[in-house]
Structure 1
Amino acid sequence: MLKDISSIFKAHLVPKEVYKGGKNIPPTDKKIYKLSSNENPLGASPKAVAAMKIAADTIDIYPDQTDIRLREALAKDFDGQLSADQFLCGNSGSEVIDLLLRAFINEGDEVIFSNPCFLPYSVFSRWYGAKQVDIPLLSPNYDLDVEGILNAINEKTKVIFLTSPNNPTGTYIPKPVMDDFISRVPKNIIVIFDEVYRHFADAEDYVTALPYVLEGHNVIGLNSFSKTYGLAGQRIGYGYTTPTIANYVRLIHKPFLLPLTSIEAAIGALNDTEFIQKTVETVLDGRAFISRAFDELGIKYWPSQANFFIIDPPLPEMEFTDKMMNEGIMVRPVSQFGAPGKVRITIGNPEANGALVKALTKLMDTYSTNR
């Protein structure tokens, strides 16, 4: 007699924690500013939208069998420093993470990450039976614990996740720190360097994965078209690495991997330099405006190199989130990301940022009166 079907389920897939994306704006007649999902404050790249409209006329046929056209466009976008065969594409940066873990992780292997961080690092690792090793960022500034990570490495360590700028903290890894780490990490370990928010980083000592890839290290730079290019709804991302690693990972690429509209949108977005520049300027201006408001209102926050802030709200995180929603501002509590009690706020366009500051001012005035 057959046993209960759950007897053949993989134990490491039994739900423990599940990544939950940000909520969409609920049906309402009220004006709501969605500052909870780190989406582009200007919408989507016009060139991307135009390319998608043209592609819509041929969605009855299969798309490109491979991602080669997009990889060639990416190589051009990187000024020829990388060849097309050094890129890996997928349906979002999250799928690229999944692809990489599927390529390198066996049950019992170990994956290192540093909370607070993007939850899929741990959730996706569990799908493949990996042991998750959390070396938390150091208080109070959310600095990378280099020595902690290096001391945690053993013969079972396969992958280390680094993120700069980091989600949800907005903090980054300075180049001297990164140089030191890469020089000391064993050569048989893959370092996945999540740089999805790299366009918004303006610190003089900020560094991407690029120089380490060019030097031949086992580093993979992870990127997405959801932020700078405004293509969150198209779910397209990519990574770049050494030819050896990229060619190996492509062995498990599915044919017809990317939808035609996503391919065309991504290529169009890469060519939309005016939109990219305007997006970055909007975020940097908004970042300065909001940080000044935080200072004036006495709200504790961490300096950000991304298109969002993490704050320590004056009220419990869910109460703060609900009160902000009542004022038409959607923000995101990030306990799930390993930052209990904190809230993440996306930088919007000038109108949204103004509404945010108005709502915060009202809340802080009420909070001060009731104390």
Structure 2
Amino acid sequence: MKTIQSIFKPHLVPKEVYKGGKNIPASLKRIYKLSSNENPLGASPKAIAAMKAVLDKIDVYPDQTDIRLREALAQDFEGQLAADQFLGGNSGSEVIDIILRAFLNEGDEVIFSNPCFLPYSVFSRWYGAKQIDVPLLAPNYDLDVEGILNAITERTKIIFLTSPNNPTGTYIPKAVLDDFFNRIPKNIVIVFDEVYRHFADAEDYVTALPYVLEGHNVIGLNSFSKTYGLAGQRIGYGYTTATIANYVRLIQKPFLLPLTSIEAAIGALNDTEFITETVKTVREGRTFIAKAFDELGIKYWPSQANFFIIDPPLPEMEFTDKMMDEGIMVRPVSQFGAPGKVRITIGNKEANEALVNALRKIMGV
């Protein structure tokens, strides 16, 4: 006799699932959450004001489409892209999901490079795709362009690139990307995750924008959770060619985004003062923490994001627990493909100083 399990899709048999960072325990009165890469300044004041202005309208359905947000994004990109080249979603993660649903059939292949954001592999498995991991190259977590090109088969549909990369904070130089796009087959979609792009200041850092403008099959993935401080509103977007965007939009649900999220995102895009202050805070904090790591002899990787990945001075879970005892939440990232490593978010000045003090205490210096 058949059981209920016989109707289950075999590729959905539980393996690994994405687990977000922990929330602050209610029992602790003073703690710095440096585990989830959230904005060190909170949320954009203009975003908060925009949300409050529509609270008396949440009893009715929101916009049927995301067109107002897409128009605001087109303006934010200074007219380099048209509104129909954007895709909205309930977080960057959902935009990933929408893209995978649009392009993947069972048996297709997805290439990604660990250490990386876990949903690349987890979400693609939902649709029966085969996951191909071409790991970043040691010791600097460089992109293995030759490895990716050699891994491509006739079933390859999507390749994930990330710059700056989560959890390593490293980036892909422009020369490497130029070479990659010149050699990649034209029938593959490149999902270019640039969620942390605002924090990058390397001279040869580049987003997906020039490659979209050149007509490549690339989707620039973005989120309002980091720079704009809207992690709780779960809103993200992608931009690409009009052909790809209009195709993906065929499977988007009506009333996709909550009213408050739409208003918050539009308000945040207009809050240039907050964006500037956020980027300044992160970059100054990055310099401060890197100097402390150097003084303490902690192994870390130079970061272009709002976090660092480190080799902790103790085993990762012991280190995480001891940091929690000192009021600092950090994130072990074995699940992201970086065994033994810990990711630490850059906070505001007070949080960064508390972090360094906790490290000194744990290391006895």
TM-score over 0.5 for the alignment? yes
| 1:220-270 alpha-carbon deviations (Å, 9 max, x no partner) | 000000000000000000000000000000000100000000000000000
- Show the counterpart of 1:24: 23
- Show the counterpart of 1:369: none
C-alpha distance in 2, partners of 1:242/1:327?
Answer: 48
- Show the counterpart of 2:351: 352
| 1:289-317 alpha-carbon deviations (Å, 9 max, x no partner) | 00000000000000000000000001100
**1:255 aligned onto 2:291:** no
- Show the counterpart of 1:275: 274
- Show the counterpart of 2:65: 66
Q: Residues 70-219 of structure 1: matches in 2 within 5 Å?
A: 70-219=69-218
Cα drift, residue 29 of structure 1 = 4.2
C-alpha distance in 1, partners of 2:10/2:52?
Answer: 45
- Structure 1 counterpart of 2:84, which letter? D
- Structure 2 counterpart of 1:30, which letter? K
Cα drift, residue 164 of structure 1 = 0.1
- Show the counterpart of 1:322: 321
Secondary structure of the structure 2 residue equivalent to 1:303: coil
C-alpha distance in 2, partners of 1:314/1:307?
Answer: 21
| 1:308-337 alpha-carbon deviations (Å, 9 max, x no partner) | 000000110000000000000000000000
Identity among equivalent pairs (%): 86
Secondary structure of the structure 1 residue equivalent to 2:54: helix
C-alpha distance in 1, partners of 2:332/2:252?
Answer: 35
Secondary structure of the structure 1 residue equivalent to 2:87: strand
Secondary structure of the structure 1 residue equivalent to 2:110: strand
Secondary structure of the structure 1 residue equivalent to 2:364: helix
Q: Residues 1-20 of structure 1: matches in 2 within 5 Å?
A: 3-20=2-19
- Show the counterpart of 1:335: 334
- Show the counterpart of 1:244: 243
C-alpha distance in 2, partners of 1:30/1:45?
Answer: 25
**1:287 aligned onto 2:286:** yes
Cα drift, residue 30 of structure 1 = 2.8
Aligned-pair Cα RMSD in Å: 0.6
Cα drift, residue 14 of structure 1 = 1.1
Secondary structure of the structure 2 residue equivalent to 1:222: strand
- Structure 1 counterpart of 2:282, which letter? V
Q: Residues 213-228 of structure 1: matches in 2 within 5 Å?
A: 213-228=212-227
C-alpha distance in 1, partners of 2:122/2:111?
Answer: 12
C-alpha distance in 2, partners of 1:114/1:162?
Answer: 8
- Structure 2 counterpart of 1:250, which letter? R
Secondary structure of the structure 2 residue equivalent to 1:171: coil
Change (3 A) 1:298 1:247: same
- Structure 1 counterpart of 2:210, which letter? P
Which runs of 5 or more structure 1 residues have no equivalent in the other structure? 367-371
TM-score (norm 2): 0.99
C-alpha distance in 2, partners of 1:177/1:267?
Answer: 34
- Structure 1 counterpart of 2:50, which letter? A
Identify which range, 268-277 or 3-12, moves more after superposition.
Answer: 3-12
C-alpha distance in 2, partners of 1:277/1:26?
Answer: 31
C-alpha distance in 2, partners of 1:87/1:129?
Answer: 27
**1:312 aligned onto 2:311:** yes
C-alpha distance in 2, partners of 1:118/1:15?
Answer: 18
Cα drift, residue 364 of structure 1 = 1.2
- Structure 2 counterpart of 1:303, which letter? P
- Structure 1 counterpart of 2:320, which letter? T
C-alpha distance in 2, partners of 1:363/1:5?
Answer: 51
| 1:57-77 alpha-carbon deviations (Å, 9 max, x no partner) | 100000000000000000000
| 1:183-216 alpha-carbon deviations (Å, 9 max, x no partner) | 1000000000000000000000000000000000
Cα drift, residue 28 of structure 1 = 1.9
C-alpha distance in 2, partners of 1:248/1:225?
Answer: 23
Secondary structure of the structure 1 residue equivalent to 2:321: helix
The number of residue pairs the alignment matches comes to 365
Secondary structure of the structure 2 residue equivalent to 1:186: coil
Secondary structure of the structure 1 residue equivalent to 2:264: helix
- Structure 2 counterpart of 1:59, which letter? I
- Structure 2 counterpart of 1:11, which letter? P
Secondary structure of the structure 2 residue equivalent to 1:363: helix
